[in-house]
Amino acid sequence: MGRSLNQAAKYVLESIESLGLQITIESRLDAMCKSLQNPDGSWRDFIGVNDHDFNFAREALRDLTLLEFFFDQIGPEIETEQIKQQVKQSLRDSVLPQHDMPDSPGRDTQAELFVFAVCKKGDLHPKFKEPDVVCEVCDEEFAIAVKRIKNLDKLVRRVRDGASQIQNSSLPGIVVVEITRAVNPQNLEIALPGDDSSFGKLWEATLKEIIDHKYNQLTNAVNGKGVIGIILHDHQIRIIDSDGKRRLETMTYRVSMCEGSINEKLKLDQFTRRYIGAIPNLMML
């Protein structure tokens, strides 16, 4: 992490190619990287809001930052065939996520890569295994079901699906839901006045309202299925200064589903302390 967008683009491309994968013209990454380049292949210094490539470049900030984080965490494991296939799947979809209706297998897989990378950085020893990722906390395995929704009306149903997968794994587990599209279906960048604290409080109020409204339904969806918590991720592009500088913000919100069990609460706290502490670009809510 810490690279410029152009540096991140080159790094991600090189990392993908090191797997023996080819970036084809059908890949959204090909279009994203071309939006950052001049016709001669050199990297552009500035892309203004009136530039015809601006929307592609802005979307590159999100996807390339997330993939950069993944490749930073994997290290030598990058050579495994399983990870190679996951990366290959993640390259699909349209450049702009609002054009991916109803299916988006590429970004759905990218959400799984992000969770895997967070677990890796948090020293949770993840592996790609049903339901999506299995990790370890204090020598005990945890199952993680990863969902990505484009409409808040689907939240309860998708959590229920994830809970059923966790139940089938016979492990205690967490349902992680990426809600980026669901809370921002038009894919607008966030331009809110105030400092990070003010922005965080506003976003926290938004997510709290969402969860409070659906809490009883969510509780019913996971009841008896071994789910001890739900984690929401929201990756938004935010304008952070008067010069129009932008960065990716990751807002994260944890919901306990421990139903009064002290033992389960301890497990959830142990997991989230490592997991949330490992999230990049974090704005903790």
Contact partners, residue 254, CB within 8 Å, separation at least 6: 229, 230, 231, 232, 272, 276
pLDDT of residue 92: 87
- pLDDT tens for 153-162 read 999 999 999 9
Q: Within 10 A of 269 (CB to CB), how many other CB atoms are there?
A: 16
Q: Mean pLDDT lowest for which of 46-50, 82-86, 162-166? A: 46-50
Contacts 24+ apart (CB under 8 A), 88-96: 88/19, 88/21, 91/16, 91/21, 91/23, 91/27, 91/28, 91/29, 92/27, 92/28, 93/28, 94/28, 95/28, 95/31, 95/32, 95/56, 95/59, 96/55, 96/56, 96/59, 96/187
pLDDT at residue 204 in the model: 86
pLDDT 10s digits, 96-143? 998 887 789 999 999 999 999 999 999 999 999 999 999 998 889 999
pLDDT, average across residues 233-242 = 87
pLDDT at 221 over 80: yes
Residue ranges covered by each domain of the chain: 79-284
Per-residue pLDDT reduced to its tens digit, 22-50: 898 888 999 999 999 998 989 998 888 89
Structure tokens that stand for 216 in this block: 């009883």
State residue 242's pLDDT score: 74
Q: Closest by alpha carbon to 108, among 68, 71, 149, 72?
A: 149
Does position 283 have pLDDT exceeding 60, yes or no? no
Q: What is the DSSP letter of 282?
A: E
